[in-house]
Amino acid sequence: MYTQSFNVQDSTGLKSVTPPAVENPEAQARFDQKIDADGKIEPQDWMPDGYRKTLVRQISQHAHSEIVGMLPEGNWISRAPSLKRKAILIAKVQDEGGHGLYLYSAAETLGTSRGQMLDALHSGKAKYSSIFNYPTLNWADVGVIGWLVDGAAISNQIPLCRCSYGPYARAMIRVCKEESFHQRQGYEALLTMMGGTDAQKAMVQDAVNRWWWKCLAMFGPPDADSPHSAQAMRWGIKRISNDDLRQKFIDATVPQARVLGVTLPDPDLKWNEERQHHDYGQIDWDEFWSTVNGNGPCNKERLATRVKAHNDGQWVRDAALAYSSKQLNKTLKDAA
Residues that bind ligand 3HC (CB under 6 A): 57-58, 61-62, 65-66, 69, 96, 127, 129-130, 149-150, 153, 156-157, 218-221, 226-229, 232, 238, 242, 292
State the minimum distance, in angstroms, from the CB of residue 34 to ligand 3HC: 21
| 9 φ/ψ angles, rounded to the nearest 5 degrees | -70, 150
- Minimum Å gap between C-beta 139 and ligand 3HC is 18
Nearer Cβ to ligand 3HC, position 31 or 241?
241
State which residue, 125 or 333, has the beta carbon closest to ligand 3HC.
Answer: 125
Nearer to ligand 3HC, 233 or 264 (CB): 233
Cβ proximity to ligand 3HC: between 35 and 201 the closer is 35
Residue 320, CA distances (Å) to 101, 309, 327 in order = 16, 17, 11
Q: At what angle do helices 198-217 and 150-157 cross, to 10 degrees?
A: 30
The nearer residue to ligand 3HC, 126 or 254, going by C-beta atoms, is 126
d(CA 20, CA 48): 8
Q: How far is the CB of 334 from ligand 3HC (least distance, A)?
A: 43
Give just the sign of the alpha carbon dihedral 219, 222, 227, 232: positive
CB of 92 to ligand 3HC, least distance (A): 9
Nearer to ligand 3HC (CB atom), residue 41 or residue 233: 233
Length of the chain: 336
Q: How far is the CB of 1 from ligand 3HC (least distance, A)?
A: 15
Q: Which of 218, 144, 227 is nearest to 186 (CA)?
A: 144
Comparing CB distances to ligand 3HC, the nearer of 47 and 150 is 150
Sign of CA dihedral 292, 78, 200, 252: positive
CB of 167 to ligand 3HC, least distance (A): 14
Q: Comparing C-alpha atoms, which of 88, 278, 250 is closest to residue 184?
A: 88
- Using only C-alpha atoms, the chain has a radius of gyration, in whole angstroms, of 21
Asked if 132 and 302 touch (Cβ cutoff 8 Å), the reply is yes
Q: How far is the CB of 175 from ligand 3HC (least distance, A)?
A: 8
Q: Cβ contacts of residue 97 below 8 Å, gap of 6+?
A: 66, 67, 70
The residue type found at 229 is S
CB of 331 to ligand 3HC, least distance (A): 38
Nearer to ligand 3HC, 273 or 286 (CB): 286
Count the neighbouring beta carbons within 10 Å of the beta carbon of residue 233: 22
Residue 47 exposure: Cα atoms within 13 Å on the Cβ side: 24
The dihedral through the CA atoms of 291, 293, 297, 300 has a sign that is positive
